[in-house]
Structure 1
């Protein structure tokens, strides 16, 4: 399910709802074949605590509807499943995915450092503070031909400014402007898939970290 959804999310940045309906329905039907049906049902209902949280995050625009439905379908198909001995919760896949979101930020930083080492003036025409330039270098990059990115610059007269504002995933269009600063529209389904794989083999990264710390 996550492989199919991730493929369409990368290719078209859109995943049809039938993917989640089909797999979620299949997961619900599998409950009929569970040897301990009531235990499995309670486990599934507990895992579905993620549903209202995912929907709220979606409506806030922090990720898309496909991401919310993927988390809900996962709760039905594989409620809190892990092959490790570490603890997991209904929110483990989501929290693991949030940690993986650090990777695109590191990619932005590396990309901008490489551009600077090549002698490119990535902030040409900008009048901004050093701190804001550093923040922009973490959250985005200067793209010659952005395809899936949200604009984070504006022009005031002859001066360019960095605009670090919230971008609603479902409502805001990708930038079509060339040679401009953008923050990449990350296919969050990839993070969810990664977070789920980490849950399977390791458990909850945050919970394990907290337990080891204390």
Structure 2
């Protein structure tokens, strides 16, 4: 009896597709908090999508040759798997996506090639399906439109807080001494504003490698600038924010530079010769396994110099792509295709 009542709302495949909602909710929460999503998160969606694709594909191909059912399923599956899924891989290769973002989009392409239908009292969801009928493409366009609203939200928040700048739609101002507790990228270099400033994950990796923290570095910049001050190094990790900072000497966070070294370096700074490797930046990148999110020695040095020179800096917190993707998914299930509805409203479709 219960199964009969449930299947009157939607087909079993369409009901199973709703499992994407809690998975994406969990992923969006973790992406927002840590900017990291475990690879295993997407495995259930890949498996479920492959099974449903096989079941519905068999049903569609069993229809008479030339029938609309067979034609529609084939076109939608080809667009979803042949266009939407490769876009995720392409954006990742170009650096526009993180690995989790690409896997999330590919999972949607496999799980949602066609529009689901849900019969509720007084309504059939989605309310505004697109004429093409590729549900994963609808989720992607919804995601882009939701993401476009993010700069406006940033701008309004900065305006209300009194932070007026040409960067107010791209980032937020943060005290230099606490940027290591933020995710994102500096919007400033020693040469001015830049969208290619230091990645803060790379900064945290560098600090852990040196066994120090940002406050100690800012308190004694000349001593830390000297590459010979780098002593025993540690594993840098992946740059994620940790609850506890690097601790030594009985649990107290301490600098890798002694007070005597710091005082001597500050006194001799004006007469010292330029260092071959300021801050030990090149040594850091040569020592670690990986590229620290594309950071170069010059980029690392420029970011640190900005933090030393300025009490407050602008940084781009970024919007984890899975967050607007989750919102776009919810909108797609309930309302449908925002872009198609907008184009329809102005008479373009």
Q: TM-score, normalised by structure 2?
A: 0.49
Among 60, 72, 82, the alignment partner of 2:94 is 60
CA distance in 2: counterparts of 1:53 and 1:104, whole angstroms: 22
Among 15, 24, 40, the alignment partner of 1:18 is 40
Unaligned runs of 5+ in 2: 1-22, 62-69, 117-125, 202-291, 296-302
CA distance in 2: counterparts of 1:191 and 1:10, whole angstroms: 11
Name the counterpart of 1:77. Answer: 111
Counterparts of 1:84-163 in structure 2 under 5 Å? Answer: 84-87=127-130, 88-89=133-134, 90-116=136-162, 122=163, 133-134=165-166, 136-144=167-175, 145-146=178-179, 147-156=182-191, 161-163=192-194
Deviation of the 1:25 alpha carbon: 1.1
Relative distance call for 1:19 and 1:213 in structure 2 (3 A) is same
Name the counterpart of 1:47. Answer: 80
Deviating 4+ runs (over 3 angstroms): 30-35, 37-46, 164-170, 175-178
Relative distance call for 1:64 and 1:207 in structure 2 (3 A) is same
Deviation of the 1:28 alpha carbon: 1.1
Contact 1:31/1:41 (<8 A) preserved: no
Contact 2:128/2:341 (<8 A) preserved: no
The DSSP-based 3-state class of the residue aligned with 1:79 is coil
CA distance in 1: counterparts of 2:330 and 2:323, whole angstroms: 11
CA distance in 2: counterparts of 1:85 and 1:138, whole angstroms: 31
CA distance in 2: counterparts of 1:54 and 1:190, whole angstroms: 16
Relative distance call for 1:180 and 1:85 in structure 2 (3 A) is closer
Aligned length: 195
Q: Residue by residue, what CA displacement relative to the aligned partner does 1:73-120 show, whole Å, maximum 9, x if unpaired?
A: 11222224252243143422111111111332122212221232xxxx
Relative distance call for 1:86 and 1:208 in structure 2 (3 A) is same
Q: Is the aligned partner of 1:212 residue 2:258?
A: no
Q: Which has the larger radius of gyration?
A: 2
CA distance in 2: counterparts of 1:185 and 1:29, whole angstroms: 35
CA distance in 1: counterparts of 2:184 and 2:324, whole angstroms: 17
Name the counterpart of 2:59. Answer: 36
CA distance in 1: counterparts of 2:142 and 2:197, whole angstroms: 22
CA distance in 2: counterparts of 1:166 and 1:203, whole angstroms: 38
**Greater RCO (CA < 8 Å, at least 6 residues apart):** 1
Unaligned runs of 5+ in 1: 117-121, 124-132
